[in-house]
A and B are shown apart, each in its own frame.
Chain A
Amino acid sequence: MSGRDVTGGDVAHASARDRRRARRHGRQRTWPAFWVFVGPFLAGLILFTFLPIVWSAVLSFFDAHNTVTPTRFVGLANYVDMLTNSDFLASLGTFSVFAVFIVPTTVAISLGLALLVHRLRFARAFFRSVFFLPAACSYVVAALIWKLSIFNGVRFGLANTVLGLFDVDQVPWLSSASPPWYWVALVTLRLWLQVGFYMVLFLAGLQRIPGELYEAAYVDGAKPGWQVFRYITLPQLRATTVAVVLLNLIAAYQAFDEFYNLMSSARGYPPFARPPLVYLYFTALGQGQDFGHGSAGAVILALLIGIVTVLQGKLFGFGRRD
């Protein structure tokens, strides 16, 4: 790594570098240069990430309605309230159901598309672009198409028109809590938007698999198709798959855009289908501006995500070097 070095020292080695610099520039330290490069960024990170987290942790022990300054110390009361609040707990349940739907289907479809596209001889770039194209669309725009065109209410909308062709009864897609038809809209919307993104990750993973492995499998008489996939492709894609599952799970935890836009109307947000972020949004920035409870909820959510991430890391060995 150090390459040819005229002074014969290892550049990565600080003391050798200092000596060389000292020879050239006189006694000079590198820390001013370090701070010129890293300082502005770090200052912003402290102000807009670290300070907010500390402030939030403090606020979570206080009563803070309609104000962002702590007013009355309430100890753990906010945490107790949130953890016994059936709406907040229901929001965690909503997330869990959503994750159970979205994570496996995303992995399966994006891996399936990647395998199909990877083996193409013609028009590979074309198909990759088409499946990746929804990534250029925002959740807001997608929600608009889903809500006002595909899953529009009874009597109009593409989904009901198609059902009508088969003489199936019209479905009130977004306004029915039981059965929860709105899940169809929520899940298909996210699949459409993110499957292409993860397909690109899988394609990159497939490209890194050495061709010799397949040649060896062919020579050894492995049947093309399932055997090769099971014993060569899948194990080689392990790191990518783990990354996709993890990214997916975190993204599902942060679900906000499509829930907010699909479900809310001029009449407000229905009591069902509120994932944690939607719940916190209405708690902290809704009518009551309850920053104390909102902060406690954010801390709980951050801890939960932390635990899940660590567990997942332990389970799949994420971050471990192969």
Chain B
Amino acid sequence: MDGPHAVGYARSARGRIGAIARYSALVLAALLFLLPFYLLVRNGLASDAEITAPDWTFFPTTLHWGNIGELFDDPSVPMAHSLLNSVLVSVVQTIGQVALSSMAGYGLARIPFRHANLVLAAIVATLMIPAAVTFVPTFVVVSSLGWVSTLRGLIVPGLFSGFTAFLFRQYFLSFPKELEEAARVDGLGHWGAYWRIVVPNSTGFIAAIGVITFLGSWNAFLWPLVIGQDSSSWTVQVALSSFMTAQTINLHELFVAAAVSILPLLLVFVFLQRYLVQGVAESGIKG
């Protein structure tokens, strides 16, 4: 299962020492990579005094499990509402973006149209423009629609990703035509072929793109910060940021909130990692 290059060398003594060195280096690096997660949990379960104590200790002396309940009972912190907003935004954006992009990608790849190349060029052109640079202009448009501080304003602009549409087009170009041809002979139109043949046979790719979209949507910060100007439309990221820069900080609540905010993604990570890795590989190579 390893690369063949390892075969010739691995059994020698030198190879064994190399393997030990590699594993040591990796274990050390892994501990460093896990440390911030530990700190998140440690501080979430410690008291404020222990988080900022001058004589900092690696393990807190007592675990304050009550911190979790305290966070959701605190009326000055709209945590539950922000989490709900995040769930809504991420789920709708993921489903919407995948649906719209896969349809557009299918149309571009499979339905002959005289000006398809022009449409494709317009979509590819948007890839050149970094999304974050357009936040001022997009704010201008969304603001004149009256969508500032609304869920619509949070969700809708993020539904249309030229990049995702382009990925789907590339994927559908290499989708075996025979399946669709059979469907067409059986009397299905373009929609039938797409919905009953192409989509059910592309679940792996759709899941990969969906998981990546969800991750990006859940962790998005700049746009939700720009558009969420009152706390009723905060996502969990904006809420965390606001608590972080507030005058008075309830540190242990803040760390519990941060831990709660990454839970959904850790679940995605544990159960859907295969798709996540595939999605990164797909989207990175073509980026």
Which residues of A pack against B, CB within 8 Å? 1-6, 11, 14, 17-18, 30-31, 33-38, 40-42, 44-45, 47-53, 55-56, 59, 68-69, 113, 116-121, 127-150, 152, 155-158, 161, 192, 196-198, 200-201, 204, 206, 209, 211, 214-215, 217-218, 224, 228, 239-240, 243-244, 246-247, 250, 253-254, 256-257, 260-261, 264-266, 277, 280-281, 284-285, 291, 294-295, 297-298, 301-302, 305-306, 309
One digit per residue, 1 when the CB lies within 8 angstroms of any chain A CB and 0 when it does not, for chain B 124-161 equals 00101111111111111111100000000000110110
| Contact yes or no, B22 A120, CB < 8 A | yes
The distance in angstroms between the C-alpha atoms of A145 and B240, with both chains bound, is 12
Question: How far, in whole Å, are A277 and B222 apart by their CA atoms in the complex?
Answer: 9
Given known A38-B104, A131-B29, A144-B255, contact A197–B237 (CB-CB < 8 A): no
A254 CB contacts on chain B under 8 angstroms: 130-133
Q: Are B178 and A40 in contact (CB under 8 A)?
A: no
Q: How far does the alpha carbon of A145 sit from the alpha carbon of B256 in the complex, in Å?
A: 11
How far does the Cβ of A243 sit from chain B's closest Cβ, in whole Å?
6
| Contact status A138-B219, CB under 8 Å | yes
B212 to nearest A CB, angstroms? 10
Complex: how many Å from CA A157 to CA B54?
Answer: 8
Which residues in A have their C-beta under 8 angstroms from that of B1? Answer: 121
Q: Is B53 an interface residue (CB 8 A)?
A: yes
Which residues from B are CB-within-8-Å of A120? 2, 22-23, 26
Whether A41 and B221, one on each chain, are in contact in the complex, defined by CB atoms closer than 8 angstroms, is: no
B190 in contact with A37 (CB, 8 Å): yes
**Which of these binds chain A: B64-72, B73-81, B246-254?**
B246-254
Q: Are A45 and B126 in contact (CB under 8 A)?
A: yes
**What are the interface flags for B82-123 relative to A under an 8 Å C-beta threshold, 1 for contact and 0 otherwise?**
000000000000000000110110111001111010010011
In the complex, the answer to whether A131 meets B134 with C-beta atoms within 8 Å is no
For B120, the closest partner residue in chain A by CB is A38
A94: min CB distance to chain B, Å = 15
Q: Does B63 contact A (CB under 8 A)?
A: no
A3 to chain B, nearest CB (A): 5
Contacts A42-B119, A224-B5 given: A52-B138 contact, CB under 8 Å? Answer: yes
**Option from A17, A301, A306 in Cβ contact (under 8 Å) with B112:** A17
A-B contact count (CB 8 A): 317
B112/A14 in contact, CB under 8 A? yes
**What is the predominant secondary structure among interface residues of chain A facing chain B?**
helix
Q: Which of B3, B159, B244, B266 contacts A148 (CB 8 A)?
A: B244
Q: Which residues of A contact B156 (CB under 8 A)?
A: 44, 48
Nearest-neighbor residue (CB-CB) of A128 within chain B:
B277
For the complex formed, measure the closest distance between the CB of A55 and the CB atoms of chain B, giving whole angstroms. 6
The residues of B that contact A14 with a CB separation of less than 8 Å are 112
- A31 x B114 contact (CB < 8 A): yes
Chain B 10-42 per-residue mask, 1 if CB under 8 angstroms from chain A, else 0? 100000000100110110011001101101100
Instruction: Specify which chain A residues have a CB less than 8 angstroms from the CB of B9 in the assembled complex.
Output: 224
Interface centre among B165, B181, B191 (most CB of A within 10 A): B181
Residues on the B chain within 8 Å of A260, using CB: 221, 225, 241
- Are the CB atoms of B51 and A148 closer together than 8 Å? yes
Partner of B215, one of A116, A135, A196, A301: A135
Hey, which chain B residues are within 8 Å of A246, CB to CB?
A: 287
Q: What's the Cα separation between A61 and B167 when bound, in Å? A: 36
A305 & B52 in contact (Cβ 8 Å cutoff): no
Indicate if B268 sits at the interface (CB-CB under 8 A): yes
Say which size band chain B's interface belongs to: 35 or more
How far apart are the CA atoms of A156 and B52 in the complex, in Å? 6
* Alpha-carbon distance between A211 and B177 when the two chains are bound, in angstroms: 31
Assembly CA distance A4 to B269 (angstroms): 42
B134 shortest CB reach to chain A, Å = 6
Give chain B nearest CB distance to A263 CB in angstroms. 10
Q: Is the CB of A298 within 8 A of B134?
A: yes
Query: Bound complex: CA of A201 vs CA of B3, how far in Å?
Result: 17
**Residues A243 and B29 in contact, CB atoms below 8 Å apart:** no
Which has the most chain B C-beta neighbours within 10 Å: A31, A42, A138, A247? A138
Contacts of B246 in A (CB 8 A): 266
Contacts of B116 in A (CB 8 A): 34
Q: Is B4 an interface position by the 8 A CB rule?
A: yes
What are the 8 tightest A-B residue pairs by CB atom distance, in nearest-first order?
Answer: A37-B107, A52-B137, A56-B137, A214-B5, A44-B160, A211-B4, A41-B104, A138-B219
Contact across chains for B141 and A5 when beta carbons are under 8 A apart: no
Q: Is there contact, CB below 8 Å, between A41 and B137? A: no
Given the interface pairs A1-B177, A254-B133, the reply to whether A281 lies near B226 with Cβ below 8 Å is yes
27 A-B pairs within 8 Å (CB atoms) are namely A33-B191, A34-B111, A36-B190, A37-B106, A38-B104, A44-B159, A59-B137, A68-B139, A120-B26, A121-B10, A130-B33, A133-B37, A140-B244, A141-B258, A144-B244, A144-B258, A146-B36, A148-B251, A149-B51, A150-B39, A201-B280, A254-B130, A254-B132, A260-B225, A277-B133, A277-B222, A280-B135
Q: Which residues of B contact A127 (CB under 8 A)?
A: 26, 30
Instruction: Report yes or no: A264 in contact with B2, Cβ–Cβ below 8 A.
Output: no
**Are B10 and A157 in contact, with the CB atoms below 8 A?**
no
Assuming the contacts A3-B177, A156-B52, A294-B136, asked whether A140 and B221 have C-beta atoms less than 8 A apart, the reply is yes
B241 partner, pick from A3, A49, A140, beta carbons under 8 A:
A140
Q: Is the CB of B5 within 8 A of A129?
A: no
Residue in A closest to B174 when the chains form the complex, CB atoms: A1
- Is B218 an interface position by the 8 A CB rule? yes
Flag if A53 contacts B244 (CB, 8 Å): no
Complex: A200 Cα to B285 Cα, angstroms: 11
**Cβ of A138 and Cβ of B103 under 8 Å apart?**
no
A119 to B8, CA, bound (A): 13
